[in-house]
Structure 1
Amino acid sequence: MTQTRVFEHRTLLAHPRETVWGWMAGPGALQRMNPPFASELVSGPTDGLAVGSETRLRIAAPGGAGLFADTADGFLKGTLPAGLARRIPAAATPKVPWTARHTAYEDGRMFRDEMVSGPLAAWTHTHLFEDAAPGEADAPDGRPGTVVLDRVEYALPAQSLLSRVPGVGAAAAGKAHELFEAELRRQFAYRGRVLAEDLDFHAAHPGPLTGGPRRTVAVTGAGGMIGTQLCALLTSGGHRVIRLVRDPQAVTGEDTALWDPLRGTVDVEALRAADVVVNLAGEPIAGRFTPEHKEAVHASRVQGTRTLVQAIAALDPAGRPDLVNGSAVGWYGADAGTGPYGSGLVEDLPAGDDFLAEVVSDWEAEAVAAEALGVRVARVRIGVVLSPAGGMLQRMLPLFLLGVGGPMATAGGQSHDGSPWISWIGLDDIVGILAHAVLDDAVSGAYNGTAPEPVTAKEFARTLGSVLRRPAVLPVPSFGPRLLLGAEGAAETVEADQKAVAEKILATGYEMRAPALEGALRHVLGR
């Protein structure tokens, strides 16, 4: 008979229980709470919190070994040509499948899920919701806050056999439990922080969850790293999201609709239903800057935005949705440094003159054309987004985890230590800024989607090494990125020198979740 152990984690929230429960019952809650350093949500929940609802995940091995294997796999697939990457069999990926089923439910108080298949011998997770004690965590309106108690009963694989090995078995089993529960603490700390910060966000942007109006938001690029989390944040707050997809087979109901940006077609009814359109679609920039790749990067953004604006123009003026358009700090040019005044790149500076600056300039021009239609347009110039699930951080992690990471060896920048500036931002914050632009009608014009404390490449490497407890002194030879991306691609991406500042978006009332680099890295890496 399998012997189970019990792990418990308590989260205290300054929000009433009905609000916390409403967030948890929203369709985006699990996506928001899923730690990117530990697992990937594949599908579900199929029926919310109801008994019988199922969720499928892919789970990484715990600790640094799992993070290394997962990020190395992501780096490889992101670097290889798309056709070759698709040929890597699913069995070769470092994560293992996990299926859980909801087995108990009591409205407003508890629900339970159990592992149906996965790497453990047993797993039963009970989520309990209770009012906090008076004065312990009162909500702003004076009502009691909420205590969320996560109670996990689990058994590790082969633990009963291991514990019977004479001499060392009990000690080995105890160490295995110690390591496993350390991993659980990392994951539940991440979940609790996201839950608390999302609830704070929704309290500051009233929607159905907090007694405010519901908005309908159409999103392109909804399946990307940023788009997936944006949709989850909006739906967990009670808003409706319509995902605009390019594959007809992906149109599965009223909350998905078809568009083809390069052919200039979009489901007009989806736009007519929307209060706001968020445009995040675009060919990934990473790759060698061949003529074909550069054309795909340019066309996917420029023609896609033009398609949306032309479709919006055809609608009745009284029913035209606002537009929140993705953009990039590439606007300023790869060698912009600190800008002409030395204090940082601000939004009213002109565009640079390299390839990516041209792409962003043309991209924003298409979006700005909607202003002539009476449409509110917000353009968010996104910086280097931090997540182990993709982007620059994913590409850097394998080297740092091996202890051979360090700053890029470049010709230097305008910073105090001679290395280029990096305008970074945590994934939760760029998602929050985009959602803020969706829900706050006063947000219009261009905004830097970056953290308030940009750092140099040397500072970034030192901080990442400290968070991972690894050395970070070996410069990464510039021939590596240039071999993968070509001279132009490397110069405009990994070697870019841009110190974009965030004062303008902060002045609109957005509150950064992770304003400093170390805190942002510790959050996304579970450290």
Structure 2
Amino acid sequence: MRFDQTVPHERRFVYDWHARPGAVRRLTAPFAAEVVAEPDVGVTPGGRTRLRVRHLPPPAARWTTEYTAVVPGEEYTARMVSGPMRRWEHRRMFEDLGGTTRVRDEIEFWLPRRSPEFASRAVMSTVARFVGYRHAQLLDDLQFAATHNGGPRRIAVSGSRGLIGTQLTALLSTLGHEVVPIVRSADRVPGAVALDVAGARADTSALEGVDVVVHLAGAPIAGWFTPGHKKRVADSRIGPTRALARAAAEAGVPTFVSASAIGFYGATPPGIVTEDSPAGQDYLARVCAQWEDATLPAREAGARVAMVRTGIVLTPAGGALAQQLPLFRVGAGGPLAGGAAWQSWISVDDAVGIFAHAALSPGVSGPINAVAPGPVTSGEFARELGHIMSRPSAIPIPIAGPAVRLGPEGARLLASASQQVSAAKASATGYEFRHPTLGVALRHLLGQAA
């Protein structure tokens, strides 16, 4: 199989992006596989990548490839060491076209003996979807790299193993930045910044020489809203954020970016809300307000501080979309709670992009909404997802379903939330959305061509 793509960038720029750590993770389609590990030094002979293939039972789901032939600046080849195929070889070449680059993928595979006749066609179809995803992802990531090229920086990131953190770390690494993980003190990772969550203390000395802190870590919000759960959610955000902001201030870190959420506006704010809208009055709104206030030590020290208020992050790798996909696959999907509630969504790549944009752009400060420009109702969301998956979407999901997992208060604040949140500030600061509409986002994330 052979696939060609022409990208509007010079060959050296394109190859160097591929050669850095993080490129494999950025180019792996979330509907097809999950990256377990990739080489720390990027594309070098002998470097191995381990994947977990979705929808295959173990041990067939485990896939390991190794870089073999590598010609720096021109091409590299990865061969399967272990996995579900008898043999797999992927050669990627970079041809200089004078200011643009042709990226060519040549893929050869041999199925296990006695495979059914349809298996080869199924593999070829999946490979084509995977490559289509890679082509779109590469174009968008290279464009982001070209517009955020202010030189290498040292960026400390907490929550780097989470849904957003893994992709943000990968994106920043492909841009040539050094990413330093911020971890719990008990984890004792060499070279990392230690954060004592329980004691709300951070290692100031480890932050010296850091240009940007991006703070993502926090306990999962989903869960039965018991007093204990609510305390964990608040305690994992407010105290650690204040400790990290204080340590960043003492270390002289010039930029501090903290996660927040559109829960700041309350579960059902009236009309369209912007970053200037007041905080809501419910539990999550109060937590978000205190979470953002905890960045004050960094602001008082003169740092540029941005608080990224994320909406509903869409990815088949986890979160709200991943929970809905099984229902839609069997034809049992539909709108939640009547279909009239507004959902301010964002693709995982745009969420990651806005965090990186906030970290690297001097003009971004204060609160910024990480939502797509076009919020939709839950009914519109269900219809679009059903259309793209070629499945019915008319079976309504009663609020009693989420209430079983979240409790009455959690269901009211999360599942029944109706929020129309503006993305105007993100656009005004120069961020270019990859997926401005729901259909574009879902087709990319699920590997469904238009």
The TM tier, using the shorter chain, reads over 0.9
Tell me the residue number matched to 1:525. Answer: 446
Tell me the residue number matched to 2:39. Answer: 45
Alpha-carbon distance between aligned partners in 2 of 1:477 and 1:117, rounded to the nearest angstrom: 45
The 8 Å contact of residues 64 and 81 in structure 2, kept in 1 or not, is answered as yes
Tell me the residue number matched to 1:131. Answer: 96
Alpha-carbon distance between aligned partners in 1 of 2:258 and 2:407, rounded to the nearest angstrom: 29
Q: CA deviation at 1:96?
A: 1.0
Alpha-carbon distance between aligned partners in 2 of 1:310 and 1:449, rounded to the nearest angstrom: 25
Alpha-carbon distance between aligned partners in 2 of 1:392 and 1:197, rounded to the nearest angstrom: 24
Tell me the residue number matched to 2:433. Answer: 512
Runs of 4+ in 1 over 3 A off after TM superposition: 92-95, 247-250
Q: CA deviation at 1:483?
A: 1.0
Alpha-carbon distance between aligned partners in 2 of 1:369 and 1:47, rounded to the nearest angstrom: 36
Matched, 1:146 2:101: yes
Alpha-carbon distance between aligned partners in 2 of 1:447 and 1:94, rounded to the nearest angstrom: 44
Tell me the residue number matched to 1:348. Answer: 276
Alpha-carbon distance between aligned partners in 1 of 2:59 and 2:350, rounded to the nearest angstrom: 28
Alpha-carbon distance between aligned partners in 2 of 1:95 and 1:523, rounded to the nearest angstrom: 26
Structure 1 residues 442 and 94: CA distance shift in structure 2, 3 A: farther
The 8 Å contact of residues 242 and 270 in structure 1, kept in 2 or not, is answered as no
Q: Mark the runs of 5 or more structure 1 residues left unpaired by the alignment.
A: 1-6, 67-91, 133-142, 163-171, 207-211, 411-417
- SS of equivalent residue, structure 1 residue 108: coil
Tell me the residue number matched to 1:367. Answer: 295
Matched, 1:380 2:303: no
Range that drifts further, 225-234 or 270-279:
270-279
Find the partner of 1:157 among 112, 120, 137.
Answer: 112
State the Cα deviation string for residues 481-517 of structure 1 (Å, max 9, x = none): 1111101111111211101010011000100000000
The 8 Å contact of residues 20 and 41 in structure 2, kept in 1 or not, is answered as no
Find the partner of 1:35 among 23, 26, 29.
Answer: 29
* Equivalent residue pairs, number: 448
Identity of aligned residues (%): 46
Q: CA deviation at 1:247?
A: 5.5
Find the partner of 1:296 among 217, 228, 232.
Answer: 232
State the Cα deviation string for residues 377-426 of structure 1 (Å, max 9, x = none): 1111100000011111011111011101001125xxxxxxx711000000
The 8 Å contact of residues 60 and 95 in structure 1, kept in 2 or not, is answered as no
AA of the residue aligned to 2:127:
L
Alpha-carbon distance between aligned partners in 2 of 1:273 and 1:248, rounded to the nearest angstrom: 23
TM value normalised by structure 1: 0.83
- SS of equivalent residue, structure 2 residue 80: strand
State the Cα deviation string for residues 183-223 of structure 1 (Å, max 9, x = none): 001101111111111110011111xxxxx421111111111
Alpha-carbon distance between aligned partners in 1 of 2:136 and 2:59, rounded to the nearest angstrom: 27
Tell me the residue number matched to 2:82. Answer: 117
Q: CA deviation at 1:46?
A: 4.9
- SS of equivalent residue, structure 2 residue 34: strand
Matched, 1:181 2:124: yes
Aligned pairs for 1:452-463 (under 5 A) are 452-463=373-384
- SS of equivalent residue, structure 1 residue 297: helix
Tell me the residue number matched to 2:154. Answer: 216
The 8 Å contact of residues 271 and 321 in structure 1, kept in 2 or not, is answered as no
The 8 Å contact of residues 217 and 240 in structure 1, kept in 2 or not, is answered as yes
Tell me the residue number matched to 1:15. Answer: 9
Matched, 1:229 2:167: yes
Q: CA deviation at 1:93?
A: 6.8
Alpha-carbon distance between aligned partners in 1 of 2:58 and 2:216, rounded to the nearest angstrom: 27
Structure 1 residues 447 and 249: CA distance shift in structure 2, 3 A: closer
TM value normalised by structure 2: 0.96
The 8 Å contact of residues 39 and 60 in structure 1, kept in 2 or not, is answered as yes
AA of the residue aligned to 2:82:
S
Tell me the residue number matched to 2:148. Answer: 205
- SS of equivalent residue, structure 1 residue 273: coil
The 8 Å contact of residues 100 and 116 in structure 1, kept in 2 or not, is answered as yes
- SS of equivalent residue, structure 1 residue 463: helix
- SS of equivalent residue, structure 1 residue 314: helix
Matched, 1:54 2:48: yes
Tell me the residue number matched to 1:307. Answer: 243
AA of the residue aligned to 1:479:
A
Alpha-carbon distance between aligned partners in 2 of 1:127 and 1:25, rounded to the nearest angstrom: 12
- CA RMSD in angstroms, aligned pairs only: 1.5
Alpha-carbon distance between aligned partners in 1 of 2:253 and 2:67, rounded to the nearest angstrom: 41
AA of the residue aligned to 2:386:
G
AA of the residue aligned to 1:213:
G
AA of the residue aligned to 1:200:
Q
The 8 Å contact of residues 28 and 134 in structure 2, kept in 1 or not, is answered as yes
Matched, 1:273 2:194: no
Alpha-carbon distance between aligned partners in 2 of 1:299 and 1:518, rounded to the nearest angstrom: 37
